[in-house]
Amino acid sequence: MAASPDPLMLASLPKVTETELRGLQRECIRLMRLEDDKFPGSQPVSFERRHLTPEDEEATRRGVSLLKQEFYAAEKTDGVRYMLLIMGERGAFMVDRNFEMKRLPPTMRFPGRKAGAPPVDNTLLDGELVEDADPDGKSSQRMRYLAYDACCVCGACCTAQPLTHR
């Protein structure tokens, strides 16, 4: 059986129109305070055993030695990278690496943190969409979005803050 071009079944979600896509892309760029129109997500950095040794002269010279800097390692999940753009009443959108977008169902709500607070708006998260598994290990067809970075929250760009504060 051939691999699905849409392994996480997002094909059923409606794509946004070209006009709306351009507007939403501009919103992402504005929220992230970027100057170009490329995918706004960060790129993961792979490292090897040599990066954990004092002999990694290149990293030491550039000031990015893992021995001298805090870093996070994350569990490798088997999902697909998406950013999640939440635009309040305009809806929420899954943003893929090609900077294409799919509209999430209007039944999905993103309430504010406190009772009575307005819903989340102008927010861009970075993460991965994974298919959940039942406790017995069998696939359950339930999708979960695992956010690992808050790039912009309620209009405030967070990327200048350390990851621990986002």
- Known catalytic residues are 76
The Cα–Cα gap between 117 and 120 comes to 9
Contacts of residue 103, defined as CB under 8 A and 6 or more positions apart, other chains included, come to 13, 14, 15, 16, 91, 92, 93
Distances (CA, A) of 158 to 14, 23, 44, 92, 118: 29, 22, 18, 19, 20
Burial class (CB in 10 A: 0-12, 13-18, 19+), 41: buried
DSSP sequence for 66-96: TTSS-----PPPSEEEEEEEE-GGG-EEEE-
Residue (of 154, 5, 28) closest to 101 by Cα position: 28
